[in-house]
Amino acid sequence: MAVNLPRGFRAGAVRAGIKPSGKPDLALLASGLPASWAYAATQNRAAAPSIHRGRALYAQGGPLRAVVVNAGNANCATGERGFRDDFLMAELAARRLGLPLEEVLTASTGVIGVPLPVEKIEASLPQIALTPTVEAFAEAILTTDLVVKVAEREVAGARIVGVAKGSGMIHPNMATMLAFLVTDAKVPQEALRASWRGVVDRTFNQVTVDGDTSTNDLALLMANGAYGEVPLGPFFEAVEEVARELARKIARDGEGATKLMTVRVQGAATEEEARRAARAVAASALWKSALYGNDPNWGRILAALGNSGARFDPLKVEIRLQGIPLYRGGALPFDRERASQAMRAEEVEVFADLGEGPFSAEAFGCDLTEGYVRINALYTT
């Protein structure tokens, strides 16, 4: 299905020859109007030049008009040269669109430690045809993702469209999570920024495929106001729905994954503890392996909760898997075969009530499979 961008946005992509596969790998997203924007980026100390530049633009506080993204090369750990190349990529996009340099954000994903082929970007950027649809952009930002990830919502006549790439790996390096949400709603930059951090914390930051955070992760929200004002409560709810849908698509498409895991934790003493507890379960290698093997091994869920740092008394905890109660202050009798059958699904839900307080959270993950190991080990040598 073709998804149109909100009013005033256009996007496109081209084959620049950065991906060894020869697939489209250079993408542009632009707004006809200056957009307010919010941004969240990786905390990795080895963050790429594009992340450093994005943070600087964010701090300046001006509007944003465009994003240029390349896939196939993360332009990370490329020394001083990497900063110059990132600047050049921004400059080429700004020139192409006739925009001031500080209104163009850059993003890169792909191999680490290899200089960015700026000459390929220079040669290909002018060939990008900008259209009102999102597909070409959504495809070009992928690395080894298996599927394109797009989500959309409407709110009081305005539209929100989000696109993301997830945890694929490109030879010989790491996953990057990129997410771009654009809307034609008119939202002041302060309001956008005040809410975005929370949305990201509840969605993209609750995705875990293998516990490794990339050097290039970012999540962007742009509002160009082409439609006009909308009530902010419903607007941010819709934004969060788009972000959540993308987060789940990223988890489902994790490397080697055969199923999506949603962990819902309630009864935590604080929201942060709820989030940590949910993430700990979604990230546990032991539990992820059991999930793969359809083994209703609740002891691993309990142990992961116990490692999360969230406070609880094991005698008050309740654990359910696909709705089946497995543990309530102690092992419950349950039909192991039936529970295992219930795990043979595309989506598996883990529920835990910590019995400690009023806070809840979700996390999104996938199973750990031999495929994950093969993709990441038996592939370059």
Residue 88 has phi, psi (to 5 degrees) of: -65, -40
How near is the Cβ of 99 to a second copy at its closest, in Å?
30
Residue 168 has phi, psi (to 5 degrees) of: -105, 170
In one-letter notation, the amino acid at residue 352 is A
Structure-token pair, residue 28: 């542009």
How near is the Cβ of 169 to a second copy at its closest, in Å?
8
106 vs 297, which CB is nearer to a second copy? 297
Helix H or strand E segment including 242:
helix 232-252
2 vs 377, which CB is nearer to a second copy? 377
Query: How far apart are alpha carbons 75 and 108 in whole angstroms?
Result: 6
Burial of 9 (0-12, 13-18, 19+ CB in 10 A): buried
Q: Is 165 annotated as a binding residue?
A: yes
Q: Is 381 annotated as a binding residue?
A: yes
**Which of 121, 58, 59 lies closest to 84, judged by CA?**
121
Give the residue numbers annotated as catalytic, written as ranges: 176
How near is the Cβ of 305 to a second copy at its closest, in Å?
7
Structure-token pair, residue 310: 């969230």
How near is the Cβ of 340 to a second copy at its closest, in Å?
5
Q: Can you list the positions of beta strands (E) in 57-103?
A: 64-73
Residues with Cβ within 8 Å of residue 18, at least 6 apart in sequence? 25, 26, 70, 71, 72, 73, 110, 117, 120, 121
31 vs 78, which CB is nearer to a second copy? 78
Q: Is 376 annotated as a binding residue?
A: yes
80 vs 346, which CB is nearer to a second copy? 80
- Bridge partners of 349, per DSSP, are 262
Residues with Cβ within 8 Å of residue 205, at least 6 apart in sequence? 40, 275
How near is the Cβ of 241 to a second copy at its closest, in Å?
29
32 vs 309, which CB is nearer to a second copy? 309
Query: What letter does residue 125 receive in the DSSP assignment?
Result: G
Q: Is 143 annotated as a binding residue?
A: yes
Residue 322 has phi, psi (to 5 degrees) of: 50, 35
Q: Which residues are annotated as a binding site?
A: 143, 165, 176, 255, 376, 381
Q: Which residues are annotated as a binding site for substrate?
A: 143, 165, 176, 255, 376, 381
